[in-house]
Structure 1
Amino acid sequence: MLIFVLQTLAEILAGGTSLTSTEQIDFSHPSNRREEGAGPTLNLYIYDIRESKQFQQAGRQVERSIGRHLQAGIVNWAPVWFDVSLLLTAWDRTTLGEHHFLSEALTILMRHRALKEEFLVPELRGHGSLPMMVGLHPSIEPGTLWSGLGVPLRSALYLTLTVPLSAEPTTTPLVWERIFDLRNQMYGNGTNEIMTRRVVIGGVVKSATTNLPLLATKVTLLKTQKFMESNKEGLFFFENLQIGNYVLNLNCPGYLSQNVNALVDEQSYTFKEIFLTPE
C-alpha cells in the first residue's frame, strides 16, 4: 500500500513540475542530504500512519460489511481506511530554487484535492477517488516532528492521503494437507486400528443415543463442490482448502440434519466429533 501511495504521488509530481522524471524524487529520510551537484530533488517521506476514524464514519465504502467468497466459503471484510501523512521538501543549490520547486508542487497538488481514480496506480483503484489534504498542519506538532526527525526546521508541504487497505483474496495461501492419527476401537474384535490421513478438516459422526459411529452420513462442505460419506467408523475428511470459515452439513437417514462450523487456519487441522439426534 505505501509503495503504491508514493508511486502515485511521484508520477503526479514528475508530470506537473519542471522535474524531468520520477528519478528526481527521493523517498529516504530527510536527514539524508543530497549529494552536491546532484540537481534539484523533491523528497517524499512518510512520517505517520493511523486509522482514519473520521473517514470510516463518513459513509461511502467504509461500512464493515461481510462479503463471502462463494466458491471457497471464506469470510472477507471491507477495507480499513488509513491516513498516510507525508512530508514534502525540496532540495536545490539555492533557497530560491527550493522555493520554486515547492511552489510548483503545491500548485499541482492543489489541483488534486481528491486523487481521481484515473490518476491512481492500478493497485489503488476500485475504491473511487481518494481524499487528500494539502498544506494543513501535520498530524504531529511541527516542532516535535522536525525534532524527532533530527533535521533543522525547513520549508515543507504536509500531505495526508486517505487510502484503503484490504486483504487480497488471491494471496490467501492454500492449506494443502494436515496429518492426524485416529485411534479407533474396532467394534467386535477389541483391537485398535491406527488410521493416518492427510487432511484439513476431518471428523467422526456418531449417534447421540448409542454413541456408535454412523455409516454413510453425507457430509457436504457448503459453498463448495466438496462432499463425501462417512465410512464404517463414521470418519470423513476434506483436503485442499483455503484458509477461512466453513460450514459442514450432515445428513444421515433416520437422523436430524445438522450444520457444524469449522475453521481452517495455518496452525492446526480441524477435527470434529459430531453427534446426530434420531428423528
Structure 2
Amino acid sequence: MIHEVDDALQSLLTADVLAGTGVEVVFEAPTREWAARRNAPTVNLFLYDIRESVVHRQQGRVPEYDADGTTVAIHSPPRWFALSYLATAWTKRPQDEHRLLSVLLAGLLPHPVLPADRLSGSLRALGLAVPCDIARPPGEGRALADVWSALGGELKPSLDLVVTAPLSAGRRVAAPPVTDALLVRAVDASGGPLETPAREEVRRPRYEGDREEPGAPAVPVGTRRVRGEAARRPPPGPVPR
C-alpha cells in the first residue's frame, strides 16, 4: 500500500502539478550527503511517519457477492494509515525553491483526495477515496524541527503532506450455500383424544432443475440431495417419534 501511495503522488505531481517544468520528484531522505549530490531542480517527498488513523477504524464485516448475488467471501473493514511526507524543494536559489513550494501548494489544494485514475494495485481494487492533506499542522509528537535534527540537516522551508490510505484487513472465503433438503412438519397439538392420530403436513422443498414426481417422498432433515442411480433408490423408512 505504501509504495502505491508513492506511485500515485509521483504520477500526480509529474503529470499534473509540475508538468513541463522538468522538476524531478524523488523520495530520498534529505540528508547533508544527499543535498551535496543533488544537481537538478528537485521536489523531495520524504516519508517520515506512518501511523494508524484510529478515527477511521470500523467494526463489523463486509460481504462480497458474486454475479448471482451469492455471498462468496467476508471482508473485515480496511484499516487506515496516515502517511506523512516532508515535501521540500531543492534548487540553486531560495527564491526558486519558494516558487516550487507555491506550485506544490496550489497544485495539491484542489485534490482533497488522490485522483482515482492515479491509484493502482490494492488501492484501486478497494475502490475507496484516499484523502490527501497538504500543509496540515503536524500532530502531537511530530515537530518538523525534530525531523530535520534526526536527518542531520539544516532546517529548510517545507510542506507537511499527509495521505490517509486504506489497507485490506483480510478476506475469508464463505462456506458454500446449504443444499440439504428440509422437512417441514406441522402437528395438530389441539389436545384431542389419544386414539386420534396427529395430523401432519409435509412440504417438500423445490430446487431449480429438480423434477417433482407425483407421490415423491419428502427428504429427511440432514440428508443431502443425491442424483443419478442413488436418487432412484427407495427412501429410508420413517423416523420414529
Q: Into which bin does the TM-score normalised by the smaller protein fall?
A: 0.5 to 0.7
**CA root-mean-square deviation:** 3.5
Q: Does structure 2 conserve the Cα–Cα contact (< 8 Å) formed by 1:69 and 1:75?
A: no
Distance 1:123 1:19 in 2: 31
Q: Does structure 1 conserve the Cα–Cα contact (< 8 Å) formed by 2:81 and 2:166?
A: yes
1:28 partnered with 2:23: no
Distance 1:37 1:142 in 2: 22
Structure with greater contact order relative to length (CA < 8 Å, sep ≥ 6): 2
Q: Does structure 1 conserve the Cα–Cα contact (< 8 Å) formed by 2:76 and 2:170?
A: no
Distance 1:8 1:73 in 2: 31
Tell me the amino acid that sits aligned with residue 106 of structure 1.
L
* 129, 142, 145: which one aligns with 1:143: 145
Cross-structure match for 1:67: 63
Pairing of 1:165-180 with structure 2 (within 5 A)? 165-166=167-168
Q: What percentage of aligned pairs have identical amino acids?
A: 28
Q: Which is richer in helix?
A: 2
Per-residue CA deviations over 1:8-64 (Å, capped at 9, x if unaligned) read 11111112225337xx111111115245572101111111111111233xxxxx444
Q: Which is richer in strand?
A: 1
1:161 partnered with 2:114: no
Pairing of 1:106-255 with structure 2 (within 5 A)? 106-121=105-120, 123-125=122-124, 126-139=126-139, 140-166=142-168, 222-223=175-176
Tell me the amino acid that sits aligned with residue 157 of structure 1.
L
Cross-structure match for 2:45: 44
Tell me the amino acid that sits aligned with residue 103 of structure 1.
S
After TM superposition, give the deviation of residue 69 of structure 1 in Å.
8.0
TM-score (norm 2): 0.61
Structure number, greater radius of gyration = 2
TM-score (norm 1): 0.53
136 and 37 in structure 1: CA distance in 2 versus 1, 3 angstrom threshold? closer
Q: Does structure 1 conserve the Cα–Cα contact (< 8 Å) formed by 2:61 and 2:74?
A: no
Distance 1:6 1:19 in 2: 20
Per-residue CA deviations over 1:83-121 (Å, capped at 9, x if unaligned) read 111111111111112112111111111111222323433
Cross-structure match for 1:80: 79
Per-residue CA deviations over 1:190-225 (Å, capped at 9, x if unaligned) read xxxxxxxxxxxxxxxxxxxxxxxxxxxxxxx94289
Gaps of 5+ in 2: 179-219, 223-240
Per-residue CA deviations over 1:136-181 (Å, capped at 9, x if unaligned) read 2223022222222322211111011111101576xx9xxxxxxxxx
Distance 2:152 2:127 in 1: 37
7 and 168 in structure 1: CA distance in 2 versus 1, 3 angstrom threshold? farther
